[in-house]
Structure 1
Amino acid sequence: MSDELISKKELLDLAGISYGQLYRWKRKDLIPEDWFIRKSTFTGQETFFPKEKILERIHKIQMMKENLSLDELADMFSPNISDLKLEKDELIKRNIVSDSVMKIYMEIDKDSNEFTFSRMLEVYVLEKLLHSGEINLDEGKMLLQVLHDHAQLIKQNKCELVITRKLGVSSCLLLMNPETFHFDKGTKVVTDLSLLACMEEIKAKLL
């Protein structure tokens, strides 16, 4: 989806950070390169940012930098999937998934009790959307299939998971690096979920 933009000067004032901090975080990959948007203004070239995303990211950095190094924060914000594996009971213990949703997941995916990061993302998204009431169980099964089939793409891209309904029929889409999208009249967007944000939430719980 499109974002309201904020200028660099407004951002520094609003977030209470210095120019040096901002660009140090950029060099450490805490803030993505593509969030630095160069635009022509009446005073020349200026840098703008997607307002909601950059303010949320800076808030997270400021909250966590007392306990984590910049390198550890970079690992957490990275879209790359780690090699970490955990047992299902550990995921419940760390509040990544509830016991009830884990049981539903294990009935659908009977693979093993060991979870790679890709499977952690699947069960976390299922938990998030079932508990919010946004989706039903059939839609949950559909989204799990989409996440499973495209796990390698999700590792390499900033993806959004979009679930729609029209005339009682649901569809699940995985959008790569999306900016805007539009559907035909009568299609309801049930949920539009950033998978990168979900990965960050999981990593925060693990850390």
Structure 2
Amino acid sequence: MERELISKKDLLELMGISYGQLYRWKRKQLIPEEWFIRKSTFTGQETFFPKDMILARIDRIMNMKEDLSLDELAGKLSPFHEDLRLNKRELMERNIVSEISINRHSTPAQLNGQEAYSFAQLLYLYATDQLLSAGEISLDESGLLMETLRDHFPRYEGKPCELLFMRKMGVSMFALAAVPSALYFDAGVKTVARLQLSEIAEQLRSKLN
């Protein structure tokens, strides 16, 4: 499903903020670089944003900026630094991830409620469940995806990256790439899904709050 976008002009008017505020927040990393989407329009190049996420982010900034410095806010808003932990019962009650994904990709201790899920583990589960629920990957492929995220996502140390799911001649492949990056494949590779993990983390945080 194509995400809804909002133009920079409409965003500034709707939220009552200035151009200077918006780009100061960008420089301070309160708003991720990858949310600034350049698109061609009949008037030339314009900047757009993922509407639901940018509105929620600016609302949080406006509510918190009186009590925290911009540097403190950046730490609070970073999507990959989160100390919240949930057990299986809480995860099920909030309906964040399907039971199929939980049962297939959790440790015995997590399934028994003896061990909580870290935010990173929840992120892996949530991203995997999104593709599984959309019918874009199989259960077997979901295992390969979880393995890819566990093995390689920590290397990015909170920096923006994207997940790519590709197939070639029936063979499934997953990859993580830094953002922004330009990737090129031979004609036989089909890109089935491409997810910005910072956006997935932001969606997850909104469900956890």
TM-score normalised according to structure 1 size: 0.74
Please say if 1:11 is aligned against 2:13.
Answer: no
Specify whether residues 35 and 104 from structure 1 end up closer, same or farther in structure 2 by C-alpha distance, changes over 3 A only. closer
1:59 to 50, 55, 74: 55
**Superposed displacement of residue 34, structure 1:** 7.8
Query: What is the one-letter code of the residue matched to 1:204?
Result: S
Q: Quick one: distance in 1 between partners of 2:90 and 2:153?
A: 22
Preserved CA contact (<8 Å) 2:34 2:179: no
Q: Quick one: distance in 1 between partners of 2:186 and 2:108?
A: 37
Q: Quick one: distance in 2 between partners of 1:34 and 1:187?
A: 25
The 5 Å alignment of 1:1-207 reads 11-12=8-9, 15-16=12-13, 17-26=17-26, 29-32=29-32, 51-53=48-50, 57-62=53-58, 64=60, 68-70=63-65, 74=74, 77-106=77-106, 109-110=107-108, 112=110, 113-207=115-209
Q: Quick one: distance in 1 between partners of 2:35 and 2:139?
A: 36
SS at match of 2:181: coil
Q: Quick one: distance in 2 between partners of 1:176 and 1:27?
A: 19
Q: Quick one: distance in 1 between partners of 2:33 and 2:187?
A: 35
**Superposed displacement of residue 25, structure 1:** 3.0
SS at match of 2:97: coil
The unaligned stretches of length 5 or more in structure 1 are 1-5, 38-47
**Superposed displacement of residue 76, structure 1:** 5.9
Q: Deviations over 1:110-131 (max 9, x none)?
A: 4534101111011101210100
Greater relative CO, 1 or 2 (CA 8 Å, sep 6+): 1
Query: What is the one-letter code of the residue matched to 2:31?
Result: I
Q: Deviations over 1:113-162 (max 9, x none)?
A: 41011110111012101000011112111110011112422442211111
Preserved CA contact (<8 Å) 2:166 2:190: yes
Question: How many pairs does the alignment contain?
Answer: 185
Structure 1 vs Structure 2: percent identity of aligned residues? 40
Q: Deviations over 1:164-197 (max 9, x none)?
A: 1011111110112233211101211111011111
The unaligned stretches of length 5 or more in structure 2 are 1-5, 38-44
Q: Quick one: distance in 1 between partners of 2:46 and 2:86?
A: 36
Q: Deviations over 1:5-60 (max 9, x none)?
A: x9xxx7245541323432453365322468789xxxxxxxxxx885345x565323
Q: Quick one: distance in 1 between partners of 2:195 and 2:180?
A: 11
